[in-house]
């Protein structure tokens, strides 16, 4: 297959990689504060992630210019459309992770990402409300990305001096988390199982309570009852999915495997923050274990992605 054809079939789902790598960067930054790991690790990771993001944006812009019909098809697809907001979320996360490296750049990325994410949320939710071809079997946890992704904005937003705006984004995220969580469980419990390529997206269910906990702590400033509920829901969902590890281990690699990454990073950060606030040795241990597990997991995903790309298994037409 020629490079031109590869660009035509370059999937928007690649941007889930940036979410995972940004999450890992933030996890190592928090580990430097709590576990006293080398701060340079988090800095190096976020700089590398920013570089990869620029490469992916360049490729996808090339696709947009040369193959606009292919981009439009992804934007109409009931699953693929949910990955477009991964671009704006990536900007928000990069802005969050770059605060200690370049505050002005970080703020610029955050404000652009937050603004873009609100616009894309309005667009996609409008499409959900007025479409006639989506079925219950189309829904899966990737649908959390557009609307529930708003919950990430306050993590840096409060520090940037936008507390009121951060509450607005947090409220949107919580609203759609509660709505979509019910629908996703209904789909999983009472309809055909998710196809293998989408099974890893179940891990996305961990992200809203885990990242929501991190965001809420920034907003509320203390560990209250609601914060405890969020972090414990995240822990339960993580445990629920980890006990099914054999089921996930039997799957053929797809880009959807990157759905493992950001939720695990978010849960790592949540446990470390919980330890900071309570001094709990259990959460300190959990945070250290999850940091190691998430680092190994994302290293494995990078290896699988490189191998799949080298073998021509990515950027292929579906069939």
Domains in the chain, ordered, with CATH? Answer: 3-310 (1.50.10.150)
Confidence of residue 2 (pLDDT cuts 50, 70, 90): low
pLDDT, average across residues 91-96: 97
DSSP state of 235: H
Confidence of residue 294 (pLDDT cuts 50, 70, 90): very high
- Window from 20-24, 55-59, 78-82, 146-150 with minimum mean pLDDT: 78-82
pLDDT at res. 3: 64
pLDDT at res. 155: 97
d(CA 218, CA 24): 19
Give the tokens for residue 192.
Answer: 């055909």
Phi, psi of 192 (to 5 degrees): -60, 145
State pLDDT tens for residues 181-222: 999 999 999 998 889 889 999 999 999 999 999 999 999 999
pLDDT, average across residues 259-265: 95
pLDDT, average across residues 253-278: 95
pLDDT at res. 8: 85
Confidence of residue 174 (pLDDT cuts 50, 70, 90): very high
State pLDDT tens for residues 27-39: 999 999 999 999 9
Say whether pLDDT at 312 is over 90.
no
Note whether 92 and 121 are within 8 A (CB): no
Give the tokens for residue 3.
Answer: 């490079």
pLDDT, average across residues 168-180: 96
284-296: b (≥16 Cβ within 10 Å) or e = bebbbebbeebbe
Note whether 191 and 155 are within 8 A (CB): no
d(CA 145, CA 82): 6
Task: Please list, in sequence order, all residues whose beta carbon lies within 8 angstroms of the beta carbon of residue 185, skipping any fewer than 6 positions away.
Answer: none
State pLDDT tens for residues 221-249: 999 999 999 999 999 999 999 999 999 98
């Amino acid at each position: 297959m020629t490079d031109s054809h590869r660009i035509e079939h370059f999937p928007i789902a690649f941007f889930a990689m940036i979410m995972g790598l940004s999450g890992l960067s933030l996890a190592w930054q928090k580990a430097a504060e709590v576990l006293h790991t080398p701060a340079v690790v988090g800095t190096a990771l976020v700089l590398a992630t920013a570089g990869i993001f620029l490469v992916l944006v360049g490729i996808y812009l090339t696709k947009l210019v040369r193959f606009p019909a292919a981009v439009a098809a992804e934007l109409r697809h009931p699953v693929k459309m949910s990955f477009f907001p991964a671009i704006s979320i990536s900007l928000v996360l990069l802005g969050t992770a770059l605060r200690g490296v370049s505050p002005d750049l970080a703020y610029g990325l955050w404000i652009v990402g937050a603004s873009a994410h609100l616009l894309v949320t309005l667009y996609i939710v409008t499409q959900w409300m007025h479409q006639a071809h989506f079925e219950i079997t189309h829904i899966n946890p990737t649908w959390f990305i557009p609307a529930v992704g708003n919950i990430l904005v306050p993590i840096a937003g409060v520090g940037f001096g936008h507390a009121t705006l951060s509450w607005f984004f947090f409220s949107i995220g919580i609203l759609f988390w509660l709505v979509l969580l019910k629908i996703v469980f209904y789909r999983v419990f009472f309809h055909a199982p998710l196809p293998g390529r989408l099974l890893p997206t179940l891990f996305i269910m961990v992200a809203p309570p885990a990242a929501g906990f991190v965001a809420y702590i920034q907003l509320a400033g203390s560990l209250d009852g609601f914060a405890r509920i969020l972090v414990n829901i995240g822990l339960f969902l993580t445990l629920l999915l980890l006990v099914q590890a054999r089921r996930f281990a039997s799957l053929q690699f797809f880009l959807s495997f990157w759905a493992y990454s950001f939720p695990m990073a978010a849960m790592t950060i949540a446990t470390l923050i919980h330890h900071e606030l309570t001094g709990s040795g259990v959460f300190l241990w959990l945070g250290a274990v999850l940091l190691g597990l998430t680092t190994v997991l994302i290293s494995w995903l990078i290896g699988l992605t490189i191998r799949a790309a080298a073998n021509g298994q990515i950027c292929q037409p579906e069939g």
